[in-house]
Amino acid sequence: MMRTRPLKVALLGCGVVGSEVARIMTTHADDLAARIGAPVELAGVAVRRSSKLREGIPQELVTTDATALVKRGDIDVVVEVIGGIEPARSLITTAFEHGASVVSANKALLAQDGAALHAAAGQHGKDLYYEAAVAGAIPLIRPLRESLAGDKVNRVLGIVNGTTNFILDKMDSTGAGYQEALDEATALGYAEADPTADVEGFDAAAKAAILAGIAFHTRVRLDDVYREGMTEATAADFASARNMGCTIKLLAICERAEDGQSVTARVHPAMIPLSHPLASVRGAYNAVFVESDASGQLMFYGPGAGGAPTASAVLGDLVAVCRNRLSGTTGPGESAYTALPVSGMGEVVTRYHISLDVADKPGVLAQVATVFAEHGVSIDTVRQQGKDGEASLVVVTHRASDAALGGTVDALRKLDTVRGVASIMRVEGE
CA distances from 395 to 4, 271, 350, 357, 392 (A): 69, 14, 14, 11, 10
Strand, helix or coil for residue 200: coil
Strand, helix or coil for residue 161: coil
**Of the candidates 170, 174, 300, 273, the residue with the CA atom closest to the CA atom of residue 230:** 170
Element (H, E) at 242: helix 235-243
H-state helical runs in 277-427: 307-327, 364-374, 402-413
The identity of residue 361, as a single letter, is K
H-state helical runs in 28-177: 29-36, 66-70, 88-97, 107-123, 132-135, 141-142, 162-174
Which residues are annotated as catalytic? 207
**Of the candidates 353, 348, 347, 346, the residue with the CA atom closest to the CA atom of residue 425:** 353
Distance (Å, rounded) from C-alpha 45 to C-alpha 147?
Answer: 33
Q: Is 83 left (phi over 0), alpha (psi -120 to 50) or beta?
A: left
Q: Distance from CA of residue 430 to its chain's centroid?
A: 21
Distance (Å, rounded) from C-alpha 306 to C-alpha 195?
Answer: 16
Please give the sequence-ordered ranges of beta strands (E in DSSP) within 145-262, or none if there are none. Answer: 153-159, 226-227, 246-256
Distance (Å, rounded) from C-alpha 324 to C-alpha 415?
Answer: 65
Strand, helix or coil for residue 378: coil
Element (H, E) at 392: strand 390-397
The identity of residue 176, as a single letter, is A
Strand, helix or coil for residue 41: strand
Strand, helix or coil for residue 225: coil
Distance (Å, rounded) from C-alpha 226 to C-alpha 209?
Answer: 10
Element (H, E) at 19: helix 16-27
